[in-house]
Amino acid sequence: MDDELVTCPYNKEHRIIRYRLPYHIIKCKKQYVGKQLEPCPFNAMHLVDKNEMTAHIKDCPDYLITVENDMIKEYAPSRSGVGSERFSRASSTALQKRSQQM
């Protein structure tokens, strides 16, 4: 269970279950007084000091995941047009038959 616990970026003494972190951050941010933290562009749960953001982006573990997902979207074959022509002909034929029956 220890691997499910994460440390709050606002208070290092807070240990939270991973799936509760977004809710905890909202509460803890209101009480936080300190350096301005900004969310990482690859994972909003990574809150980093403005001055350290460039270094974080270079080492962010979610960067590769984001790049891989973008590549899959760009290079995967599109399925939007598959069978749509056949469907539209079938539906228009059915509409014509229905209108003739009325």
Report helix, strand or coil for 39. strand
Per-residue pLDDT, 71: 79
Residues 15-55 have pLDDT tens digits of 999 999 999 999 999 999 888 899 999 888 899 999 999 99
Residues 46-100 have pLDDT tens digits of 999 999 999 998 899 888 788 778 878 877 766 655 544 444 454 455 445 455 5
Domain ranges of the chain: 1-32, 35-77
List beta partners, residue 16: 6
Per-residue pLDDT, 10: 92
Per-residue pLDDT, 100: 57
**The pLDDT of residue 14 is above 60:** yes
CA distance 54 to 43: 14
Q: Which residues contact 53 (CB under 8 A, 6 or more apart)?
A: 38, 40
Per-residue pLDDT, 78: 62
**The pLDDT of residue 13 is above 90:** yes
